[in-house]
Structure 1
Amino acid sequence: MSKADPLHIRPARDRRARGPRGPLLPIGVPRYRSRSMAFDQLVLESYAPLHNSYPDQLSGVDLAVDTIPRMRLRPDSIIPDDIVADGPVPLGRVLAAGVDRYGSPTRARIVVFRAPIEHRAKTATERSELLTWVLTALVAYHLNLDPRDIDPDFGL
Structure 2
Amino acid sequence: MWRFSLFLTLALLGPGTALAMGDRPPPAPPAAEATAPTVTVAPAVQAEVQARVPLSGTLVAREVVQVTPRIEGQEILTLGAEPGDRVEQGQELALLSDVTLRAQLAQADAELQRATAGVAQAESQIASNEAALTQAVAALERARSLRQSGSGTQAALDQAI
Give TM-score, length-normalised by structure 1: 0.17
Between the two structures, name the one with larger relative contact order (CA 8 Å, sep ≥ 6).
1
Give TM-score, length-normalised by structure 2: 0.17
Decide which structure has greater helix share: 2
Largest Rg, 1 or 2: 2
Decide which structure has greater strand share: 1
